[in-house]
Structure 1
Amino acid sequence: MTGFNFENYEGDDYNYSYSTDLPLILPDSAPCRPESLDINKYAVVVIYALVFLLSLLGNSLVMLVILYSRVGRSVTDVYLLNLAMADLLFALTLPIWATSKAKGWIFGTPLCKVVSLLKEVNFYSGILLLACISMDRYLAIVHATRTLTQKRHWVKFICIGIWALSLVLALPIFIFRRAIHPPYSSPVCYEDMGANTTKWRMVMRVLPQTFGFLLPLLVMLFCYGLTLRTLFAAHMGQKHRAMRVIFAVVLVFLLCWLPYNLVLVADTLMRARVIAETCERRNDIGRALDATEILGFLHSCLNPLIYVFIGQKFRHGLLKIMAIHGLISKEYLVKDGRPSFVGSSSGNTSTTL
């Protein structure tokens, strides 16, 4: 068992299932017997494979279009470039997660730490980048602040700060995750925190969820609430259109990741004995974590689809690249607009989508 000591874990730790396929428990070793998610593991593997292919293709094209359009690139475009980069890095780990669903964790501790780190960094950088986009739109539309939103060098430092903060928030997972070989079960990639595992896991959840999810979510709600009020009050039809992509990206992110985080909150409250703990509730939360994690993984391939179906400027930029390289005729190019596919950061103007 490579030095892993099961005696360090409190009894209640064996009764939970976390999206990492916790070891099965003998009926007489715990008061509650965990139940697995009623989804064929090979169906999950197929889903992960499709998400991997779509994310790899889509996010690569998004990065190509934004990097190619240097002249018309806005502040928001830079944030979306980093968002696509985070999704692409995470997508590279999906084949590993898919294999672990089918065969258990067979990749050892180093890869366990790396892929777990990338998963956490993808989530935290995603919501922090969206929070920065909301602040950029708020300053540009509500306060018509040109200076802050148009200085590109500030955006670079902000993005570096976001990546650094995401790494810090994900660091506990990187430190404590390792390959574990429990008896009577397949290997798993799971936290090994020694004594007081339950207490430390509570800390690992509450702090990152507060600073990496709840606070950015409140910032987005505040900024977009005031931004929408300003747009509707001023009857700015053009800016309404220019905000469609951003609102769609935020909405899809919340639909994919909010359920998983709400289930984590429920599980944390149960562990803290704030809500009653029963065998049925334990198993329901375990199944919910498995199901909502699949939804969260699906997010990594959805943003490029939003740009294709809603973002006219993204389609224009992609067609322009294809036309330059002779892949399509120039007649197919969209004649209006420039390569920036989200909108200007100007306080008074905003390009249409």
Structure 2
Amino acid sequence: METTTPIYDEYYEDERCNTTSIIDFGNIVTPLFYSIVTILGLIGNILALVILVKYENLKSITNTLILNLAISDLVFTASLPIWAHYHLYGWTLGESLCKIIHFIFYLGFYSCSIILILMTVYRYIAVIAPLSNIVSTTGFYSIIVSVIVWVMSILAASPAYIFSKTEESGYCGYMKQNWNLYWEYMQNGVFMLSSLVFVFCYSHILYRLLRPSPQRRNKTLKLIFILVVVFFVGWAPYNITIFWQTTHFWPDQAKVVLADICETEKKLHFAFYISRFFAFSHCCLNPVFYVFVTVKFKTHLKKILQRWCNKKSVQKRQSRLTIVSLTSGEDLNM
């Protein structure tokens, strides 16, 4: 197996510092982790999409946003096997796919952020001003919301497609250090904006819910709150780590002795792998909370599983009857 440098941190590597053991750890654990997340993410999000399309009212803005979140997670999940291949063999899949895979990564992150911001703001309005016209909007407005989510996400992620390049050495990323720093700070900025919106809205929602008058739709609020917490817990360590990595390029860092730089770099490499595991796992965790938090999702999932089991049992019975018929010389069509 060829040893490659880790994704997104190639430009942090200092040839004077020996981080081979940590990189080997990442190259072994990361493909295995991505494989597990891919399987769980595909199953969970496909089931979520089936349930939403088959049983739920998609004219509801909340259901529409959950549908878009499942699509976002599904797109992000589908890219993980390619990242696993990159870890194992370096980039061997051509420049076009390199551009697409970077685009998909940022499309998944930005769309997830935008969707959760809209879900939080919408629920904030529903609790603070339940008689507002925004709360009662359905139908065509759900389509508009979906278009806004994906247009904004595509525009935000499109530079990643334009500026990603490949090298014969097996590298897929940005050729200039400034672009690497730009994308790190851009991602940090979007995460900070999302966090501020979450803190502001949920602090006000919590204050309102603690008042004597009970609020309706607390289960929906609980689901959205959990999704936001999963997003924050997953992406916060990753964003802190990549921000801390960029400080190596600040002017004062030139005064730090090499031994300190190497020790810090080793810790950052390890933190990068672990925090990325948390960040990338969000795409398979969201469907789990759809089921555990909402009774309707749990009920619909049971219906799907029962129908699937019944269909399998009918097929088995028909298969056994066919075998009996063939061995006894009878014709079932008669």
Q: Normalising TM by the smaller chain, what interval?
A: 0.7 to 0.9
After the TM superposition, which of the residue ranges 80-89 and 290-299 deviates more from structure 2?
A: 290-299
> Matched residue of 1:260: which SS?
helix
User: Who is 1:299 aligned against?
Assistant: 282
After the TM superposition, which of the residue ranges 286-295 and 300-309 deviates more from structure 2?
A: 286-295
Matches within 5 A, 1:12-91: 19-20=7-8, 22=10, 30-35=15-20, 36-37=22-23, 39=25, 41-71=27-57, 74-91=60-77
Length-normalised TM-score, structure 1: 0.76
2:7 maps to amino acid: S
User: Who is 1:209 aligned against?
Assistant: 188
Distance 1:288 1:97 in 2: 18
Give 1:40 shift: 5.8
> Which of 197, 210, 227 is 1:232 aligned to?
210
> Matched residue of 2:25: which SS?
coil
Contact 1:37/1:290 (<8 A) preserved = no
> Which of 298, 303, 307 is 1:315 aligned to?
298
Give 1:117 shift: 1.0
Contact 1:124/1:213 (<8 A) preserved = no
1:93 aligns with 2:79: yes
> Which of 241, 258, 271 is 2:236 aligned to?
258
Report the aligned-residue RMSD: 2.7
Matches within 5 A, 1:70-219: 70-71=56-57, 74-152=60-138, 153-182=140-169, 187-192=170-175, 197-210=176-189, 212-219=190-197
1:284 aligns with 2:267: yes
Contact 2:12/2:245 (<8 A) preserved = no
Contact 1:19/1:290 (<8 A) preserved = no
Distance 1:312 1:140 in 2: 21
Per-residue Cα deviation, 1:197-248 (whole angstroms, up to 9, x for no partner): 33333333324432x2221221121111111111111352764444221111
User: Who is 2:245 aligned against?
Assistant: 267
Give 1:149 shift: 2.4
Contact 1:45/1:102 (<8 A) preserved = yes
Higher helix share: 2
Per-residue Cα deviation, 1:234-284 (whole angstroms, up to 9, x for no partner): 352764444221111111111111111111221223323466752322332
Contact 1:20/1:188 (<8 A) preserved = no
After the TM superposition, which of the residue ranges 219-228 and 70-79 deviates more from structure 2?
A: 70-79
Distance 1:161 1:216 in 2: 17
Query: Which entry has the higher C-alpha Rg, 1 or 2?
Result: 2
Q: Which has the higher contact order (CA 8 A, sep 6+)?
A: 1
1:248 aligns with 2:220: no
Q: How many residues align?
A: 300
Give 1:292 shift: 1.6
Distance 2:308 2:239 in 1: 46
Report the CA distance shift for 1:132/1:164 in structure 2 as closer, same or farther (over 3 A): same
Contact 1:62/1:84 (<8 A) preserved = yes
Contact 1:37/1:291 (<8 A) preserved = no
Give 1:23 shift: 8.5
> Matched residue of 1:234: which SS?
coil
1:198 maps to amino acid: Q
> Matched residue of 1:189: which SS?
strand
Distance 1:305 1:20 in 2: 28
Distance 2:95 2:109 in 1: 22
Distance 2:216 2:60 in 1: 17
Contact 2:238/2:279 (<8 A) preserved = yes
> Matched residue of 2:10: which SS?
coil
Could you list the runs of 5+ residues in structure 2 that have no partner in the other structure?
A: 312-334
